[in-house]
Chains A and B, each alone.
Chain A
């Protein structure tokens, strides 16, 4: 094919731009500034404080379930927010929006927290009694329920998330192997698995991302179903609520989007990734967050109105217990931060089309998600006799002690620490996806104005 000088020049300029991106993004892997290591140190100390909190709690034994409510809520928050984030990447990949490219890796990196939540779950297994003699999801199934199946779900979710992250990051790991000097070269060489970027390797990577993405979504929903029912619904006598597992998963999706927004904001303003993370990423995610916040209200209202309207005594007790009684403050916080405030913020186009607005909405939603997990798990764990037919007396509020505070702060700090350490191995902005975007984006004249034309390959 005869190439014109203009085509050659354009191809050369594209190549130079791509090489510039590679140098910039991979160059950041080579060194981290003192500010980064200071933050890592602080988070490390807080994580150790959290581990001390867990040890203190273990010294009190596992028999008193009420004491473990805050621990369970923290685990649930990590499962909800941190492990919900990779879904942002895989869901936006399914709809093939180009705006997702700079944010994909930032959301996939949260999958590393699956390791921490799997470890935390091991203790939770020992807190709930066997299924015999009480109402559960398992109908007194004798083998493996709930311990084996719940563990498998949590572990599979973590493994699938790590697999998804690894598969998506493989081309960048190989690029780091080839370009970044230093002590981690051996690690990148081992992880890169002889990736050369051949067409067949790219094709396999695409297939693997599709399959792993589908599995991650399925496991995410399934794990939320098991955890929400076994560790919350089954512990509250008389509570039969078919929408609750879906609501639990929905808060996961919503806080996954929220935490991705927070990560994007921090990467842009503190991490120095302003060139790659633009208003468009915040705009795209803010629309998703608005929709999910509305769904939060919809699911809550569906549950509430069905219970409230029916005026069944057992259901009224559950409403009092979880919404209007001892945990009313937490419920109000969850309602305000999970729905009302993000809704009032994000209905304005000028807010959605900014970077600060969606970032702020993301922070608010995370507060709401944590409040929601606290009210559900602390309440459920505080019920003494879980074999009753209905909740006869509403237990009093169970307040946190110092060990609980240490656990909550420490484990969240630990999760953030894992994320930051992972960014030293894998760049938080996907190099290959951003470079690929340059092929698909051209600026042309349209009528009398310049417009961006985006290619839409199948």
Chain B
């Protein structure tokens, strides 16, 4: 990292805890706005529950549409947290420090939002509880553990639990700081949450070991979650275009691509909204941009493998599916948009260092990536179903309804609302990590130049 900023501990505490200790007026305005949009989504979900799944645009043979696309999309976004936190912590990348907690919290809210969609999709979501708690074994009917639809909840809830633990362990030192600066009910709340944190050497050692262990343990979970979601499709032999061996790594790398892009969007918003220019610098966007170029290129490789080898056997459903996606309106238009948005516009831009350090450009290009990646998930799910039948007279179409659009829009507002409320109670940038990073920074004289250096851990 070329930029070396030395900030006093007192200034770090003041700037990073200000969001927790003080509430500006714009905060309430934003909460109301996001709450309203999320509320529209909730009303739409209520509309679906009351009137039934007929209010959706689904019909034979397209049984999965916008809601499942959105589910896969949000599971994808949730991969950013572990990618940035765990992997960059284990590889000791210093630039991760201001980014980790926000990415992990994005994971929690993205995953929670994602989990809502299959439940809503059942049409009668309360039955999920009714079916499961307590499970009726007396009729000799057991959960079908061969179904990826049983693997999904296990994987998602394991990942959610692991991420919450991960966030909490990293949060404890900052909770201690907030406890010492609050009074009344807030002091009591933070006293409980901070678990008696005093910052003595033994506690720091335990916290560091716990962080490293969790980083290593959550990595297989991170890979398994989206692999299992991909196998919801990959295991289905009825939809020929879904039955591909590459789906697991393809979905995972796509998730990392969209997730890290979402982190870029979020970091830019944090910088502008909370005025954190001492902590979130062009260096971080430069590093994220370089990571994204590598990840996006790997994603493109897997996309080409899936697309190309899908046609390898020249099966009729595969050819019909590709023809629909590439040459028939409006799918063809969406295909071009998706290709440009997810790779061919952002990546050439990100090859330039000057562009990577331009925060506004990084913000808009990262949003473009996620628009493209949402369309990518749609293009995997819906055209495959539209052309899954062998006879053309059984082919179907799909058009989303207002209810689906409202729920999808509401989900974005819900995640934003979650992040905003989180920032009210907990600092989004880890203060202790910033201080630790500063302690480990140094300079080395190389010839006549002073080069930034780091203490080798």
Contacts and interface: CB of A to CB of B under 8 A. Distances in A.
Interface of A: 1, 7, 95, 135, 137, 139, 221, 240-246, 294, 298-299, 302-303, 305-307, 309-312, 439-440, 442, 444, 446, 451-458
B1 A456 contact: yes
B456 A454 contact: yes
A48 B310 CA distance: 44
28 contacts: A7-B445, A135-B313, A135-B314, A137-B312, A139-B314, A221-B301, A242-B246, A243-B246, A244-B245, A246-B302, A298-B223, A298-B227, A298-B249, A299-B249, A305-B231, A306-B231, A306-B243, A306-B244, A306-B247, A307-B245, A309-B146, A311-B237, A442-B444, A442-B453, A453-B444, A453-B454, A453-B455, A457-B452
Nearest to B311: A139
B453 A456 contact: yes
A4 to B, nearest CB: 11
B235 interface: yes
Contact of A302 (B146, B220, B245): B245
A457 to B, nearest CB: 5
Contacts of A446: 455
Contacts of A455: 444, 446, 451-453
Interface in B198-230: 220, 223, 227
Contact of A246 (B301, B310, B311, B445): B301
B89 to A, nearest CB: 13
B237 A310 contact: yes
Contacts of B302: 246
Contacts of B310: 242
Contacts of B1: 456
Interface string B435-452: 000000010111110011
Q: How large is the interface on B (under 10, 10 to 19, 20 to 34, 35 or more residues)?
A: 35 or more
Nearest to B238: A310
Given A312-B237, A439-B446, A302 B453 contact: no
Given A242-B245, A302-B246, A307-B245, A453 B309 contact: no
Contacts of A312: 237
- Dominant SS among interface residues on chain A: mixed
A98 B2 CA distance: 17
Contacts of A95: 91
B303 to A, nearest CB: 10
B254 interface: no
Contact of A241 (B245, B447, B455): B245
A452 B314 contact: no
B359 interface: no
Given A306-B243, A306-B245, A453 B442 contact: yes
Contacts of B243: 306, 310
A301 to B, nearest CB: 8
B36 interface: no
B454 A309 contact: no
Given A242-B245, A242-B305, A457 B451 contact: yes
A242 B453 contact: no
B451 A440 contact: yes
Contacts of A302: 227, 245-249
B306 interface: yes
A451 B305 contact: no
What 3 A-B pairs are tightest by C-beta distance, nearest first?
A242-B246, A455-B444, A242-B309
Contact of A457 (B247, B306, B446): B446
B249 A243 contact: yes
Contacts of B445: 7
A9 to B, nearest CB: 13
B259 interface: no
B248 A310 contact: no
Interface in B291-322: 301-302, 305-306, 308-314
B305 A456 contact: no
Interface in B43-91: 91
Contacts of A454: 444, 453-454, 456
B234 interface: yes
Contacts of B451: 440, 455-457
B453 A309 contact: no
